[in-house]
A and B are shown apart, each in its own frame.
Chain A
C-alpha cells in the first residue's frame, strides 16, 4: 500500500499481525523487560465477527520509589486499631522484621485495538504493592520528566480514564484521537528513507516508539532499525 494514500489506521487482522511482530522484536531487543503476552478475548455470543480478538499485555512492571522520610507522611492505607484487649503474639524469634519500607509502584500495560478509531490504544494502570490503585496525580509523578512535557504540549497525546473494554474496570489510557494522524506522518518520514510501501507489521513498533516515551518505556534502537525481519 502506498504511503501517500494511507490514512494511518489498521484493521483488526493487521493489528494481530503487528502485535505478533512487536512482541517478537521486543523479546529480542528488550530482554531487560518481561515479554508482552497476547491475551485472547473470548468471543461475545452476539458478535458475528470471525476474527480473533485479543490484546497485548505487559504486567507487574515495578517502579521503586525512594522511601519517604518518616514523619507526617500520608499513608494511602487507613490504619485502624484491632479493638483487641489481648496482645496477640504476632511474631516469634524466627520472623525477620522488615525495616526497609520502600514504596513500590507497579504498572500494568495493555495494548488494545480500538474498532472505532482503527488504531491501537495503550491502556495502563498503577498500584501499590498491596494492590491499592494509584490515582492519576500519583501516576503522573512516576512518568519521566520529558513525558510530562509531551503530555502538556502535544495536542495528540493525553491521558483519560475509561472502562477497560474487556475487564470492565476503569483504566487510564492515552487517548487515540490523534494517533492516525501522527502515525501517517511517522510512516511518511520513514518511507522517504526506504520504500514507499507501508510495512503494516511494523505499525506497533513505530507506534510504541512514540507512545512508549510518554510512559517511560523506551524502545531500543535495535528494534527500530531491523526492517528486514
Chain B
C-alpha cells in the first residue's frame, strides 16, 4: 500500500493502468499493414477507450478495439460497431509505433518515446488544452511489431505520468460515502449519474464536484473552475477511476494532479475517484482523498519537462508482451480446427465411440494414385486421417483429371507431373495439415521378367516396398493390374498389416479386406493372446491351421498372377470402367477401413458372428464384411466371405515362410519364372487333381464373380 515516512502523510501510490487489446485490433492492424501501410512505419494516431471501474473486484482496462485504428473510407462499416454510447467508451488519444522487423522493435528508444509523449501532455497542461479536452491527460503510447507470417504480435504499452519530485503524499483516503454527509452523498450520486447519462459529458473523464453549503452537489466542467469558487463551497476534483482497489487511486489521477497544481497552483487537493456499480455511481466503492503536493522546482517553466514513468509491467517484469493469434487468424489452423470440429460433431451426434485419435494417427499407404487412389485419399482425409503415403510410378495423362480427382489440367502439361507428387500437392491444397508423402516407384510384378542388369534395382524396389509396408499401419491396394497386387499382398501378409483391396471391372467392383497373415510377427503374439484371453476364440486367426483365416485377394486364384497386360485388346489395356464405379468402390474401401479400425479385433476380426458381441454394443456398424462385390449393371451389391487358402500364392504360410527364409532367392524366381509360385504352393498339384473350392456365400452366388481369366481385374 502506501509507503510510510514523509511529513504530512504517506506517499500516494497510484495503481497503474492495465491494457486490454481486443483481437479485432490485431486483425485490423494486420489488414492495414498488408493493404495500406506496407513498409511505411511512421507513427499512427490511435484511440483507446476506458470507463470507470464497474466491478468491485476487477479494475477496468485501457482498451483497444478494431475501431481504435484510423477508419478507412473504403472499408466503411461492413462491420457494426457496438454502439454502447460513449458512456462506457471514454476516448483517449494515443500513438502507435509499429515496426517492420523484430530488431527494429527492440531497437526503439523507449526512453525518448516516453519523454516525447510526456512532453505533449506537459504542453497541453500549459497551454490549457488539457482543461478544454481533459482526455489528453491520458495520452498513451503503444509500440508493436506484427509478425504476419507467424501471426504473433509483440507489443508494449506506456501510460506516461509526470513524476512529482518530491512525491505527492496523501493525508486521508476513504470511501466517498464516509467522507460526504449522507445528503451530500445522495446529491453527488444524482449529479454524477446525470453527468454519466448525458451524451455531452459521458465521455469527459475529468470534472469538478461542487458542493454548496446546502449540500447540493453539481458536476462542472474543468473550465468552470473560477465559477466554482465561492463561500462555503467544497470543490473536489473528480475523475473516472478504472481502479477498484480500496486504498489506491487509479493512474489518471497522476496527470490530473499535475494539471491541478500547475494550472491552479493548489497544494492541497481533494479528489474523488469515481467508480460505478451496475451503471450507477457507487459512493461506497468510490474514494475521496486529500493529497498534499509540493510543487516541484521548475514546474512553472514550460521548457522544463518533468520526468515521466509509465511503461506497463508484464506480470511484474519490465518486459514486452507477445500474443499469438495463429489459431484464430492463420487459415491453415482454422482449417484444422474446422475439420476437427466437424468430426467431433459426428461423434457427438451419431457415433460416440468414434476414435478420432486413432484415425489421425494411423499411417496409410496407398499403392496407386489413379482413379481409386485419388478418391480413397480424399475419403481418408475426410475421416480425419492425416498420414497418407501415395505410391505410383506414372505421370498424369491428359485423360486423367476427369476421373482422378486430385489432378487438374496443369498437372498434365510438359509431359505430365509424377502422379504421386501431384497427388500429394493436391492433398495439401485441400487440407494443409495433412502429412502426405509421394513415392515414385514401380511395383515389381510376377510374370514381368527382369533382365540380370535390372535385378539389382528390382530387388531394391522390393526392399523399399517391404519397408514402406512395415512402416505403415494400413495398406490399400489400388493399382490397375492383378499382378501388381501380388507383392504388396505378400508383404502385408508377412507384416500382418490391415490391407484393403479395391478392384474395378467395367461395371462391377470388388472391395475386400485381407485376412490376417499366416505367421506370427512378434507384435501379433501379444494381440493374439489378448484376444484369446477375451475368450473370443472364434475370431482368432490361428497360425498354420489356415482354416479360419480370412482370405486375401489371391486366395481364390487357381493360377499364379501372370502378365495380364500383354496380348490384350486396347480397351482391356486401358481399363475402361464406368466413371461412377471408382468413387463407389473407393468410398466403400475407406468406410470398410474405418470400421476395421473400430472393431476391437482389428485385422483379426471375423465377419458376422463376433461383431454382435463387440465392445459397448454402440457400434452403428452392422457387419464387418470380408468382401463386397457390386455391380452397376443391376445396381446391386452383396457381401461374401472367403477363407484363406493354403495354396495361396500371396498369403499362404508356405509362401511367407519361403519369403522370410530366402528373400531375394524367392522373389526373383517368383517374378521371372512362370510356374515357380504354382509349384511352390502346390497349385500345380491342385490343378492336376479335379478338386474345387468351396466358397460359402451369405447371399446367392453370382455367376459372374467366379474366377474368370479374361476378366483381369477381379
Contact = CB atoms under 8 A, between A and B. Distances in A.
Interface of A: 31-32, 34, 37, 39-42, 44, 54, 57, 59, 62, 64, 75, 77-84, 86, 88-99, 101, 104, 127, 129-133, 135, 155, 158, 160-161, 166-170, 175
B322 interface: yes
Contact of B13 (A37, A88, A96): A96
Nearest to B156: A82
A79 B314 CA distance: 8
Interface in B667-701: none
B292 to A, nearest CB: 13
Best-surrounded residue of A54, A90, A158 (most CB of chain B within 10 A): A90
B80 A94 contact: no
A93 B11 contact: yes
12 contacts: A31-B278, A54-B80, A75-B315, A82-B106, A89-B309, A91-B16, A91-B313, A93-B3, A98-B313, A130-B321, A130-B323, A131-B323
Contacts of A88: 110-111, 311, 318
B82 A64 contact: no
A86 B58 CA distance: 34
A40 B314 contact: no
A78 B321 CA distance: 7
B348 interface: yes
Interface secondary structure of B, over-half rule: mixed
A175 B345 CA distance: 9
Contact of A131 (B16, B23, B79): B23
A80 B309 contact: no
Interface in B9-34: 11-16, 18-25, 27
Given A89-B309, A94-B12, A95-B13, A59 B248 contact: no
Best-surrounded residue of B110, B245, B311, B323 (most CB of chain A within 10 A): B323
Given A78-B324, A79-B314, A130-B323, A94 B23 contact: no
Given A94-B254, A96-B248, A64 B58 contact: yes
A169 B227 CA distance: 51
Interface stretch (B160-168, B184-192, B526-534): B160-168
A202 to B, nearest CB: 25
B623 interface: no
Interface stretch (B193-201, B334-342, B454-462): B334-342
Contacts of B57: 64
Contacts of A94: 11-14, 163-164, 167-168, 254
Interface in B55-86: 55, 57-58, 61, 64, 77-80, 82-84
A110 to B, nearest CB: 10
B22 A131 contact: yes
A166 B22 CA distance: 16
Given A86-B111, A96-B13, 18 more contacts: A37-B82, A77-B321, A77-B322, A82-B319, A89-B309, A90-B309, A92-B167, A94-B164, A94-B254, A95-B16, A96-B248, A127-B22, A127-B23, A132-B325, A135-B327, A166-B79, A169-B27, A170-B337
Contacts, number: 148
B80 A166 contact: yes
Contacts of B345: 158, 160, 175
Contact of B21 (A37, A40, A104, A131): A131
Contacts of A57: 82
B246 interface: no
A92 B163 contact: yes
Contacts of A127: 22-23
Nearest to A31: B278
Given A91-B313, A169-B27, A132 B55 contact: no
Interface string B20-57: 11111101000000000000000000000000000101
B349 interface: yes
B104 to A, nearest CB: 11
A133 B327 contact: yes
Contacts of A175: 345
Contacts of A41: 80
A103 to B, nearest CB: 11
Nearest to B61: A129
Nearest to B25: A131
B279 interface: yes
A160 B278 CA distance: 32
A99 B278 CA distance: 27
B319 A98 contact: no
Contacts of B3: 93
A79 B13 contact: no
A161 B21 contact: no
Best-surrounded residue of A32, A64, A83, A101 (most CB of chain B within 10 A): A83
A81 B319 contact: yes
Contacts of A80: 154, 319-320, 322
A127 B26 CA distance: 14
B573 interface: no
Contact of B348 (A98, A101, A158): A158
Contacts of B337: 161, 170
Contacts of B323: 77, 130-132
Closest 5 A/B residue pairs (Cβ): A131-B21, A83-B106, A96-B13, A78-B322, A90-B318
Given A83-B106, A101-B315, A42 B12 contact: no
A50 to B, nearest CB: 18
Nearest to B83: A39
A40 B82 CA distance: 8
B316 interface: yes
A133 B80 CA distance: 20
B328 interface: yes
B16 A98 contact: yes
A68 B111 CA distance: 34
Nearest to A42: B77
B144 to A, nearest CB: 13
B149 interface: no
Contacts of B22: 127, 131
A62 B58 contact: yes
B569 to A, nearest CB: 53
Contact of B338 (A98, A132, A161): A161
B317 interface: yes
B18 A129 contact: yes
Contact of A95 (B14, B328, B334): B14
A82 B14 contact: no
Contact of A155 (B77, B319, B338, B348): B348
Contacts of A95: 13-14, 16, 309
Best-surrounded residue of A34, A77, A130, A168 (most CB of chain B within 10 A): A130
A40 B491 CA distance: 65
Contacts of B110: 84, 88
A131 B20 contact: yes
Contacts of A40: 80
A146 to B, nearest CB: 17
Contact of B309 (A31, A77, A92, A130): A92
Contact of A59 (B82, B154, B316): B82
Contacts of A83: 106-107
Contacts of A79: 314-315, 317, 319, 321-322
A119 B82 CA distance: 22
Contact of A130 (B21, B107, B154, B327): B21
Nearest to A75: B315
A174 to B, nearest CB: 12
A32 B470 CA distance: 63
Nearest to B3: A93
Nearest to A151: B348
A198 B140 CA distance: 54
Given A94-B168, A135-B327, A104 B58 contact: yes
Nearest to A40: B80
Nearest to B165: A92
